[in-house]
Amino acid sequence: MTDKTNQLPNLILLEDFNGDWRSYIGAVYDIFKKDFVINKPVFRGIRLGLKRHPIIDGKEYTFYHMTHEGVDEKNRVPDLRRCERIPWAKPTIDNCDRWKLKVWVQIRKREQRICIWLERENEPDYLIVLAKRKDYLLPWTAFTLEYDHQRRKKQREYEAYKKAEAAHTDKSG
């Protein structure tokens, strides 16, 4: 694993805003807006779209999936680790191949989802999920992997994908 620390923007920390949540979430949103609304990332030559609706508190729906957690869409709560890493999302997507990150496709609810895994030493890993559409991709969510069991699960998913991909290549090649 190559350490990408010197190539990633700094985390955006609540403490840098003296604990003022409104100012902090505004700054997190400003980064999201710059990186996903104004200057969209590119994954392997495919520009990303954005799930804008429903707009919540003047912010696109995708913003909440990348910075909040929860199963119930109406009751998602802020996730500080996701918020802190929002500056990492665009560079991770843009540079996943150059940085030799683990990238794989999984099927969720009959949709293809592309997972991009930024492994980190001595801190939580960062996983970005893109949803495949007919002609474009949507940033779906992003979250940290803070526990070994989470990393092991993602490693199994990645290895299963690579094994299936190799088997497919053997049959067609």
The confidence score (pLDDT) of residue 6 equals: 64
Cβ proximity of 137 and 40 under 8 Å: no
CA distances 69 to 92, 102, 117, 161, 168, Å, are 20, 23, 18, 26, 35
DSSP bridge partners of 116:
103, 128
pLDDT of residue 60: 85
Say how far residue 45 (Cα) sits from the centre of its chain.
Answer: 17
Residue 1 pLDDT: 47
CA–CA distance, 94 with 116 (Å, rounded to integer):
11
User: Which pLDDT does position 61 carry in this prediction?
Assistant: 86
Closest CA relative to residue 41, chosen from 124, 142, 121, 125: 142
User: What number of other Cβ atoms are within 10 A of residue 87's Cβ?
Assistant: 18
Residue 25 pLDDT: 96
Residues of the chain below pLDDT 50: 1
H, E, C per residue of 13-29: CHHHHCCCHHHHHHHHH
